[in-house]
Amino acid sequence: MLEMRDIRKAYATPQGPLSVLEGVDLSLAAGASLALMGESGSGKSTLLHLAAGLDTPDSGEISLDGQRLSAASEPARAGLRRTRLGLVFQQFHLVPSLSVADNLTLQARLAGRETPDWSGELLTRLGLAEMADRYPEQLSGGQQQRLAIGRALAGRPALLLADEPTGNLDEASAETVLTLLLELVRDSGCALLMVTHSTRVASRLERRLTLSHGRLLAEEAR
Amino acid sequence: MITGRRSPRLVSRMAPHLVPHLAMARTALITLLSHYRRHPGQLAMLLVGLWVASALWSGVQAINASARDSYARAEALLSPRLERLERRDGAPLGYADFTTLRRAGLPVSPLIEGTIELNDGQRLNVLGIEPLSLPAGGIGEDRRTGNGGEDGANPLGLLQPPGQTRLAPETLATLNFSPGERPITAGGERLPPLVIDAQLPPGTLLVDIARAAELLKRGPRIDTLLLAPGTPAALPAAYRRTPAAQGLSPGQLTESFHLNLTAMGLLALVVGLLIVHAALGLALEQRLGLLRTLRALGVPGRTLVALLAVELVLLGLAGTLPGILAGLWLANILLPDVAASLEALFSASVGASLSLPWHFWAGSLAITLGGLATAGLGMLWRTARLDILALGHALSSHADSRRRQRRQAGLATLAWVFALGLWAWPAPSGTPSLIAGFAMVALALAGSALALPVLLGAALEGLKRCLGGNSPRTALIRWALADLQLQLPRLQLAMMALLLALATNLGVTGMVGGFRLTFLDWLDQRLVADLYLRPPPAAYDSWRDWLETRPEIATLLERRETDTRLIGAEGERPVALQGISADPALTASWPLLATLNADRAAAWQSLREGAALINEQLAIATGLAPGDMLTLASPSGPFTAQVAGIYPDYGNPRGEVTLTVERLIQRFAAKPGSMGLVLTPGLAAADEAALRQRLTRPLPASGEALAPSLVDQRSVHRQARQVFERTFAVTRALTGLTLGVAALALFTGLLAQARERRARLAPLWALGLGRTTLLGVTLAQLGGLALATALLALPLGVALNWALVAEINVAAFGWRLPLHVFPAAWVQALGLAVLVALLAAALPAWRLWRAPPRQLLEEFSAS
Ligand SMILES: Nc1ncnc2c1ncn2[C@@H]1O[C@H](COP(=O)(O)OP(=O)(O)OP(=O)(O)O)[C@@H](O)[C@H]1O
Ligand SMILES: [Mg+2]
């Protein structure tokens, strides 16, 4: 599903290049789930952005579904993102001028793979069916994050990339949202790569990796 | 909002791989456009900006295009390839000359021209032709081929009783007659039946020469003989070809008038596009997060750029097409005034209804869409370079805006340096160039507009520094100043629009006001007689002899005019020549701009002794100064005279030389003209009435049955004043509209950011400030900003006024005006600016004031 080989990435800063990733290898099978942990600033988001094709590594190979991301053009990477990936961020990045229902189906429509039954089911299971005609600003934080998850899943992606999806929520709603997310991921059969700080959250996923000083520490068996 | 995907079947069959892309593009476009549903103020601002820009620009262009169409027809009326003949001895031509030349085998055709008045007071040009001898292609195209079809352009139609009166469709429309009808002249005669001829210029009637001679009471005289092209050079000794450059064509004369109009239209276009630019910037800024989200969801960057370009085109069409229609409506309203002033200023006939060539539409659309593209280019550029990973970041940092301010200040300085350069180093040709004048004004305006935000920013910073003390009041004021600094980048374009509009308004009002004062003075000085009498030429001498014996009349001021050529080192130029009675009654008040040794009395004395006066236009065009010698062509050979002085001659497009009326008779065989009658002081009203009565009837002693025409000074005055007002009606309408546009810019700018404003004011409300206080602060902020802008507009307006009277007028019309300033207008402008700002702020402020506390709270927590 997702293969990363010897990924290196440095950022240019006024103080000279800042090396963030120094040879990261990672692979994720279809339908599998993986928690990515590490201290703040260890490069978790950077790795996720590379996996999503939002950024390119300085060296190394990334392939998604057997397609080499690092060799693909920007439109081709955008196409892969559109049709194969679902993205959930800490900030929800909803479209304020679209209704809840239209936000939910946005990516699926962009990819040309909207299925009304699945969208309707998502709305119901995310508890958003009653507020389908509202606008994002009229939702609570937990509701907004559920909507963002629904948007990522509505197009039936092969891989869901989530960057601290519950980081902005209180404990109770974080728990609900996470449970929903894992349930939906399992039912739709897509793979999951999730960045999290919480060991409790990580423990609910199949695998767990920790990023430290630019490298992945040896995998802890569950 | 997003409806189900329905891909067009045709497309799917032709290019299956395109379909998902179309679906993506469609969804992304709808998502982008959904922004305007949440921010209708921005959409309104964009559309209004485009609408106004295209309306004013295309309105002006419609006027210009219509006028040019009229000139083109006037110039094509008599083919420029036709030569004209005159007698070498300067005597008028008659039918005998026609017969002589025909018998000599020359292909000539007689022509008479004149003006008639209809019984409803409308005046029209009459052209009498001799259809059988008129050279082929002489008038229009088909007139001699006889295949004019239903419009009856058969040449014999003019001849066969009852004859025809051919006229342009526009003329027919203004006369309010139908084809076939026979209007009646002021003299009670019936014109031949009306027939439409689309090739004729507006305001001209074409009739058979015999009918024209009757209508114009011409007797056996003809005005000119036309000579078919390609006639051998040799002519009988008594005749010669009239020099071609007898007069400038109306197109050339009026060029400067139209350039003025175009400049005004351009200003409105720029002001409108400033609004558009501001709205686009705002719409982009608020959609940066959306753009990044779309990128993250898999829309390629270049697709987004293309979609924003599509959005621009859609908005452009939605704003521009109604704008062009509004422009036509505006042009329709203004055209009668324009036509009247062109007629009065340049004797150029322009139809009072629009007639537009196809390229007008294409051109108007192209200019506004091009302007939109320029305004939108920055938006597309920023989108293309969008950093996808800065998801949801705020855009311009403090350093960014500093850098932008420095760049703006640099550009402003550069523009001013170039403007001053254009002023300090005038054109090498010596005569001021209109284009250079406009370039100077444009650079100065652009430089000032660019400098405005920098100056306002510095003023706010300075005020903040000066503010001492720690009372609650100063805290609030300090907050208001800081908040204004934050708002400035968003309001700067609207403030620039306000500055440009105010300065133009002040400059143009000053110019028109100054011109009015000067012009009316000048009229008073020139119109010293109480009555002006134009006797029939044949009875002129009898009338003069009779009038000289009348006790009611103190002084008789004769005036004659003719055309001649000024012979200079570089060739000949046509000039008008007038002869006046150099009587103290006239010369005491007649204004002179320059004389030898600044001695007025001596100048008049030299005129009496044979010297000449020239008008300002001629002096500027030729460089002639008092003391120089000038040479005129006269029937008896070159006539040389010294220039004794230069006089102002407003409203006259031509160069003019003035001599005494005696010289005009002796040396130039000038035809009888008019006489001004200065009445004896203290004349009883009854005697004056009796005299007027007497002057409207023929003089039996002269044997001439025709009555003279009589106008009194007051009606000349009134007419001149009317012409003046109509000439500047258009200018005033356009500057007024531009100010309106600036107000709109401010209003829409405020409306577009009303939501953010509320979010910024909500914390203050939460901190315990009353809504009335907040309302007051908001209004004070904007009123103050507008006042500061208006204060900067004052010197700019005076500079513009100066440039108009001292540079542009000289280049365009050939006369310089004294600079008048009107402090009352300044006060008015200051008040207007504040009023405009308060009006623009009123609606957003009112909504803030009315906003329920709950809403403020929501906006507070959202901010
Ligand atoms: N655009 C950038 N330019 C320069 N440095 C960057 C940039 N983005 C990230 N960094 C730096 O790279 C390092 C890794 O950043 P990253 O966002 O991947 O960390 P993270 O593990 O996601 O941290 P957190 O848990 O706080 O979200 C940090 O030190 C950060 O300062
Ligand atoms: Mg992170």
Band (B310; pLDDT cuts 50, 70, 90): very high
Neighbours of B768 (CB within 10 A): 7
Distances, alpha carbon B727 to alpha carbons B250, B731, B738, in Å: 17, 8, 18
Q: What does each C-alpha distance from A90 to A165, A167, B751 come to in angstroms? A: 5, 6, 32
pLDDT for res B126: 86
pLDDT of residue B60: 84
Task: Give B55 or B7, the one with higher predicted confidence.
Answer: B55
Q: In angstroms, what separates the C-alpha of B290 from chain A's closest C-alpha?
A: 6
More confident residue, B371 or B36: B36
Residues B321-348 have a mean pLDDT of 81
Out of A112-121, B410-419, B827-836, least confident range: B827-836
B142 pLDDT band (50/70/90 cuts)?
Answer: very low
Asked if residue B253 lies in contact with residue B653, where contact means CB atoms within 8 angstroms, the answer is yes
Put simply, the answer to whether B5 touches A114 (Cβ < 8 Å) is: yes
Contact criterion met (CB below 8 Å) for B192 and B165: yes
Residue B630 phi, psi (nearest 5): -130, 155
Along the 222 residues of chain A, how does pLDDT read in single tens digits? Answer: 899 999 999 988 888 899 999 999 999 999 899 999 999 989 999 999 999 888 889 999 999 888 888 888 888 888 888 889 999 988 888 888 899 999 999 999 888 888 999 999 999 999 999 999 999 988 988 899 999 999 999 989 999 999 988 887 788 888 888 898 999 999 888 999 999 988 888 898 999 999 998 898 876 655
pLDDT at B860 over 70: no
pLDDT reading at B284 higher than 50:
yes
Give the mean model confidence (pLDDT) for residues B257-275.
Answer: 77
Helix, strand or coil for residue A162? strand
- State mean pLDDT over B273-296: 84
What's the CA-to-centroid distance between A164 and ligand 2, angstroms? 8
The residue contributing the CA closest to ligand 1 atom 26 is A40
pLDDT on residue B148: 38
pLDDT at position B249: 53
Least CB–CB distance from B34: residue in A75, A82, A97: A97
DSSP A54: S
Q: Do A110 and B24 touch (CB under 8 A)?
A: yes
Dump strand ranges (E) for B145-201.
165-167, 194-196
Instruction: State pLDDT tens for residues B143-179.
Output: 433 333 344 456 677 777 788 888 888 788 777 888 8
Judged by its nearest atom, the ligand closest to the C-alpha of residue A55 is 1
Nearest Cα of chain A lies from the Cα of B321 at a distance, in angstroms, of 27
Ligand 1 geometric centre to CA of A164 (Å): 14
**What phi, psi does B300 have (nearest 5°)?**
-60, 150
Cα separation, A191 vs A185, whole angstroms:
7
pLDDT of residue B588: 86
- What is the nearest CA distance from B294 to chain A, expressed in angstroms? 8
List, in order, residues 6 or more apart from B290 with CB less than 8 Å away.
A95, A96, A97, B31, B32, B35
Size (chain A), residues: 222
**Ligand whose nearest atom lies closest to the CA of A47:** 1
* Mutate: best of A82, A85, A105, A135, partner B, most B CBs <10 A: A82
- Tens of pLDDT, residue by residue over B209-228, are 888 888 887 777 787 888 87
Contacts of B390 (CB under 8 A, 6+ apart): B292
Give the distance (Å) from ligand 1 centre to CA of residue A56.
15
CA–CA gap between residue B680 and residue B688 (Å, rounded): 10
pLDDT of residue A147: 94
Looking at residue B742, what is its pLDDT?
A: 77
Chain B nearest CA to A111, separation (Å): 6
Helix, strand, coil fractions of chain B, as percent rounded to 5: 60, 15, 25
pLDDT of residue A36: 93
Exposed e or buried b per residue across B783-817, where buried means at least 16 C-beta atoms within 10 angstroms of its C-beta: bbbbebbbebbbebbbbbbbbbbbbbbbbbbbbbb
**C-alpha A123 to ligand 2 mean position (Å):** 28
**Mind telling me how many Å the CA of B27 is from chain A's nearest CA?**
6
In CATH, the architecture of A2-216 is: 3-Layer(aba) Sandwich (3.40)
Highest mean pLDDT among B51-65, B219-233, B560-574, B746-760: B51-65
pLDDT band at B352 (very low <50, low <70, confident <90, very high): low
Mutate to test the pocket of ligand 1, among A11, A89, A196, A211 (most ligand atoms within 8 A of CB): A11
pLDDT band at B28 (very low <50, low <70, confident <90, very high): very high
CA atoms within 13 Å, Cβ hemisphere of A220:
12
Overall residue count recorded for chain B in this entry? 863
Q: Which one is predicted more confidently, B289 or B9?
A: B289
Rounded Cα–Cα distance for residues B279 and B131 (Å):
62
Mutate to test the pocket of ligand 1, among A22, A44, A89 (most ligand atoms within 8 A of CB): A44
Strand partners, A26: A4
Q: B826 has which bridge partners?
A: none
What number is the average pLDDT over the span B84-112?
A: 80
**Ligand nearest to C-alpha A197:** 1
**Predicted pLDDT of residue B437:** 83
The number of the ligand nearest the C-alpha atom of A37 reads: 1
Rounded average pLDDT over B803-823: 80
Provide the 10 A C-beta neighbour count for residue B852.
Answer: 8
The reported pLDDT for the residue numbered B149 is 38
**Of the candidates A93, A86, A197, A102, the residue with the CA atom closest to the CA atom of residue A144:** A93
Mean pLDDT of all residues belonging to chain B: 80
- Position B12 scores a pLDDT of 46
* Selection from B737, B750, B739 nearest residue B828 by Cα: B739
- Under an 8 Å CB criterion, which residues of A touch B? 49, 52, 54-55, 74-75, 78-83, 85, 87, 89, 91, 93-99, 102, 105-107, 109-112, 114, 116, 135, 137, 151
Tell me whether the omega of the peptide bond preceding residue B232 falls within 30 degrees of 0, making it cis. no
Confidence of residue B15 (pLDDT cuts 50, 70, 90): low
* CB distance A191 to A159 below 8 Å: yes
Stretch B522-527: mean pLDDT: 80
Q: Does the structure show a pLDDT above 80 at B764? A: no
Q: What is the dihedral of CA B60, B63, B66, B71, to 10 degrees?
A: -100
- Ranked by mean pLDDT, the top range of A149-153, B12-16, B714-718, B727-731 is A149-153
More confident call, A201 vs B253: A201
Q: Which residues are within 8 A (CB) of B373 and not within 5 positions of it... i.e. 6 or more apart?
A: B312
Q: Which SS3 state, helix, strand or coil, does residue B321 take?
A: helix
pLDDT reading at B830 higher than 80? yes
Gap between the Cα atoms of B139 and B153, Å rounded: 11
The pLDDT-based confidence of B8 (bands split at 50, 70, 90) is very low
* Residues A78, B298: C-beta atoms closer than 8 Å: yes
The gap from C-alpha B99 to its chain's centroid, in whole angstroms, comes to: 47
Mean predicted confidence (pLDDT) in B335-351:
73
Contact B298 A82 (CB under 8 A): yes
pLDDT over threshold 60, residue B863? no
* Rg, chain A, Cα only: 17
Across B156-165, B567-576, B684-693, the highest mean pLDDT is recorded for B684-693
Predicted local confidence at residue B430, as pLDDT: 56
B290 CB burial (10 A radius; 0-12, 13-18, 19+): buried
Q: Is residue B141 predicted with pLDDT exceeding 50?
A: no
Strand partners, B646: B594, B614
Tokens of residue B623, six digits: 């460089």
Give residues with Cβ within 8 angstroms of B842, minimum separation 6. none
Q: Which residues line ligand 1 (CB under 6 A)?
A: A 11, 13, 18, 20, 38, 40-46
User: In the prediction, which pLDDT does B20 show?
Assistant: 66
What is the number of other CB atoms lying within 10 angstroms of the CB of residue B353?
Answer: 16
CA of A162 relative to ligand 2 center, distance in Å: 10
Mean pLDDT of B258-273: 77
Instruction: Specify the 3-state DSSP secondary structure of A31.
Output: coil
Taking alpha carbons only, the member of B559, B575, B557, B558 closest to residue B567 is: B575
Task: Enumerate the domain spans of chain B.
Answer: 1-33, 81-246, 531-714
Neighbours of ion ligand 2 (CB under 5 A): A 45
DSSP B7: -
Which residues of chain B are at the A interface, by a Cβ-Cβ cutoff of 8 Å? 1-2, 4-5, 19-20, 23-24, 27-28, 31, 34-35, 37-38, 289-290, 292-303, 388-389, 391-392, 862
CA B713 to chain centre: 29
pLDDT for B3 equals: 44
pLDDT digits (tens, 9 = 90+) for B577-604: 899 998 888 888 888 888 988 888 999 9
What percent of chain B lies above the pLDDT cut of 90?
Answer: 11
Q: Write the residue in A85, A97, A112 that is nearest to B37 by C-beta.
A: A97
Q: Cα-Cα-Cα-Cα dihedral of A21, A26, A30, A33, to 10°?
A: -80
Question: Domain extents for chain A?
Answer: 2-216
Mean pLDDT, residues B335-350 taken together: 73
